C-alpha cells in the first residue's frame, strides 16, 4: 500500500495534482486560545502538530488523551471549524483558509462530523427525517422523492436502524443511542472521505455505546470510510481502532498500531493512562510503575522541553532542556520520549506514516 508522505503530490493550486494529495494535512499547526503564545491568558491547545490523513486507507484512528490535551481542538481544526494560530491546513493540497465556495462545499461534504451530543443536532420540533432531508437537499444527493427515501432507508439500515421505526418520529421518541446512529447515518449519506467522531459515545448509556461504535465500524468496513475517533476512553479506542495517537498537552506523545501501543506503551504518559485502567486481565497489573525512577531534576515552570516532564516518574535533566523528537520504538510505533533516544528519530512530520498499514523506513 502506498504510504502518504508530506511531499506526495501536494500542490497549493486547485489543479489535477490535488487528486494525488492527501485528503487532509496539518502542517506544523499551533492553536493558541486567549491571546498570543507568550501572553498570560494564552492556552496553547495544540503545539506544532503535523498530521496527514491520506483518505485512501479505510482505517480507524483513535486520538486519545486526558481532558484538555487538545483532542477537540485537533478535530475542529481538521474539520475547518476553527483556524490555526500558525501553520497550515491543506485539503487535497489546497489551503483550507483560501477555499472558494465550490471547493469549500466539497470539503464540507468530504469531511463529516459526528458530535459528542446527539441532542444538539436535532430540533425537537421537527421529525427525525429533517436532519436527513436537509443535507440531501443542500448537497443535491437525490434526484426525486423516491431517491431521497431510498437514500435515507439505506443509510439508516447501514447503521442498524429500521426506517419504519425511525422515520416519522420526533427526536424524543428515539433513545440516545438511536439518535446518535441517525447522526452517523446522516454523515454517511454524504459519501464522505473521512468521518471525525468526537467523543460520540460519551453522552449515551454504557449499554448503548457498543451499538454506536459497531455502526461506525460497519460504516468503516462496508463503505471503506476512514474514521478519526476522538476519545478519552482507551478501552473503546482499543476495541474499535487500527491505529492510535496519544496526546498530552497539545502534543502527540505516542503513535502507532493500536495493539502495539496498548500492549507495550513506550511513553511514560501512555503507560500511566493504561495502568490507571482496571483491565479485565489478571496478567496486567493495575497501577504498576514501569519506568523506574528518574533523575533528581528541578523542572522550571517555563522550560521548553517535554511537556510531561513535571509529572514524569522517569524525568531526566535533558527532558527540560529540549523537547524530544519521536523515536521509532518498533516498525509501527513511535514515542516522543528521550527514554528511547537510542532508537532512530523520526521527523514529527512523518509520524502519520505509522498510521498506515506498512511502516516507514527509518
Ligand atoms: N474556545 C476556547 N477558549 C479558550 N480555551 C480553550 C477553548 N477551547 C479549548 N480551550 C483550552 O484548550 C485546551 C485544549 O482543549 P480541548 O477541548 O481541545 O481538549 P480535549 O482534549 O478535547 O478535552 P476534553 O476531553 O475535556 O474535551 C484546554 O486547556 C482548554 O481549556
DSSP string for residues in 66-119:
STTSSHHHHHHHHTTSS--SEEEEEETTEEGGG--HHHHHHHHHHEEEE-S-TT
pLDDT of residue 301: 79
Query: How far does the centroid of ligand 1 lie from the alpha carbon of residue 249, in Å?
Result: 10
Which atom of ligand 1 is nearest to 65's Cα? 21
Residue nearest to atom 30 of ligand 1 (CA): 68
Q: How confident is the model at residue 327 (pLDDT cuts 50, 70, 90)?
A: very high
Q: How confident is the model at residue 8 (pLDDT cuts 50, 70, 90)?
A: very low
Torsion angle, alpha carbons of 288, 294, 298, 304, to 10? -90
pLDDT of residue 324: 95
Residue 119 CB–ligand 1 contact under 6 Å = no
Check whether 296 has a pLDDT greater than 80.
no
Give me the domains of the chain, ranges plus CATH numbers. 22-241 (3.40.50.300), 251-355 (no CATH)
Residue 63 CB–ligand 1 contact under 6 Å = no
pLDDT of residue 78: 93
pLDDT of residue 199: 86
Average pLDDT over residues 165-179: 90
Of 204 and 43, the structure prediction assigns the larger pLDDT to 43
Of 316 and 16, the structure prediction assigns the larger pLDDT to 316
The set of cell numbers assigned to 347 is 521527523
Letter string b/e over residues 214-250, b meaning 16 or more CB atoms within 10 A of that residue's CB: ebbbebbeeeebbbbbbbbbbebbbebbbbbbbbbbb
In percent, how much of the chain has pLDDT > 70? 86
Which atom of ligand 1 is nearest to 34's Cα? 4
Letter string b/e over residues 171-197, b meaning 16 or more CB atoms within 10 A of that residue's CB: beebebbbbbbbbbbbbbbbebbbbbb
Q: How confident is the model at residue 20 (pLDDT cuts 50, 70, 90)?
A: confident
Residue 69 CB–ligand 1 contact under 6 Å = yes
Residue nearest to atom 28 of ligand 1 (CA): 68
Check whether 60 has a pLDDT greater than 90.
yes
Q: In this predicted model, what pLDDT tens digit does every residue of 240-291 receive, in sequence order?
A: 999 999 999 999 999 999 999 999 999 999 999 988 876 666 665 555 555 5
pLDDT of residue 117: 73
In whole angstroms, what is the distance from residue 216 CA to residue 207 CA? 16
Query: How far does the centroid of ligand 1 lie from the alpha carbon of residue 153, in Å?
Result: 37
Which of 32-36, 280-284, 358-362 comes out lowest in average pLDDT? 358-362
Which of 47-56, 121-130, 280-289 comes out lowest in average pLDDT? 280-289
Check whether 29 has a pLDDT greater than 60.
yes
CA–centroid distance for 360 within its chain: 21
Which of 10-19, 51-60, 319-328 comes out lowest in average pLDDT? 10-19
ipTM of the complex: 0.97
> In which order are the strands placed within the sheet that holds 327-330?
111-114, 194-198, 227-231, 60-64, 243-248, 251-257, 333-335, 327-330
Name the average pLDDT for the chain: 85
Test site for ligand 1: of 29, 39, 43, 47, most ligand atoms within 8 A of the Cβ: 43
Check whether 118 has a pLDDT greater than 90.
no
In whole angstroms, what is the distance from residue 327 CA to residue 169 CA? 53
Q: How confident is the model at residue 154 (pLDDT cuts 50, 70, 90)?
A: very high
Check whether 17 has a pLDDT greater than 80.
no
Amino acid at each position: 500500500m502506498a504510504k502518504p508522505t508530506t511531499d506526495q503530490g501536494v500542490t497549493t493550486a486547485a489543479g489535477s495534482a490535488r487528486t494525488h494529495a492527501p485528503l487532509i494535512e496539518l502542517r506544523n499547526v499551533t492553536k493558541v486560545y486567549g491571546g498570543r503564545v507568550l501572553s498570560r491568558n494564552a492556552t496553547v491547545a495544540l503545539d506544532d502538530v503535523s498530521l496527514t490523513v491520506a483518505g485512501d486507507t479505510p482505517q480507524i484512528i483513535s486520538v486519545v488523551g486526558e481532558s484538555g490535551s487538545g483532542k477537540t481542538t485537533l478535530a475542529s481544526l481538521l474539520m475547518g471549524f476553527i483556524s490555526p494560530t500558525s501553520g497550515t491546513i491543506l485539503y487535497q493540497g489546497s489551503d483550507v483558509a483560501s477555499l472558494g465556495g465550490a471547493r469549500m462545499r466539497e470539503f464540507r461534504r468530504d469531511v463529516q462530523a459526528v458530535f459528542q451530543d446527539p441532542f444538539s443536532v436535532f430540533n425537537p420540533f421537527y421529525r427525525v427525517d429533517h436532519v436527513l432531508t436537509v443535507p440531501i437537499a443542500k448537497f443535491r444527493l437525490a434526484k426525486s422523492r423516491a431517491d431521497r427515501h431510498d437514500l435515507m432507508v439505506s443509510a439508516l439500515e447501514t447503521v442498524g436502524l429500521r426506517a419504519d421505526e425511525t422515520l416519522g418520529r420526533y427526536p424524543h421518541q428515539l433513545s440516545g443511542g438511536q439518535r446518535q446512529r441517525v447522526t452517523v447515518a446522516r454523515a454517511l449519506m454524504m459519501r464522505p472521505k473521512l468521518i471525525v467522531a468526537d467523543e460520540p459515545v460519551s453522552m449515551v448509556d454504557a449499554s448503548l455505546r457498543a451499538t454506536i461504535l459497531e455502526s461506525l465500524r460497519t460504516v468503516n468496513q462496508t463503505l471503506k470510510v476512514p474514521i478519526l475517533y476522538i476519545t478519552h476512553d482507551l478501552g473503546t479506542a482499543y476495541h474499535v481502532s487500527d491505529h492510535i495517537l496519544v496526546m498530552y498537552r497539545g502534543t502527540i506523545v505516542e503513535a502507532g498500531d493500536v495493539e502495539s501501543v496498548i500492549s507495550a506503551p513506550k511513553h511514560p504518559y501512555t503507560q500511566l493512562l493504561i495502568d490507571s485502567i482496571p483491565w479485565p486481565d489478571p496478567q496486567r497489573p493495575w497501577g504498576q510503575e514501569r519506568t523506574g525512577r528518574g533523575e533528581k531534576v528541578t523542572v522550571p515552570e517555563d522550560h521548553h522541553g517535554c511537556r510531561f516532564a513535571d509529572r514524569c516518574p522517569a524525568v531526566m535533566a535533558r527532558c527540560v532542556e529540549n523537547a524530544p523528537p519521536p523515536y521509532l520504538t518498533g516498525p509501527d510505533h513511535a514515542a516522543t520520549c528521550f527514554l528511547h533516544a537510542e532508537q532512530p528519530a523520526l521527523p514529527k512530520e512523518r509520524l502519520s506514516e505509522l498510521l498506515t498499514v506498512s511502516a516507514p523506513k527509518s
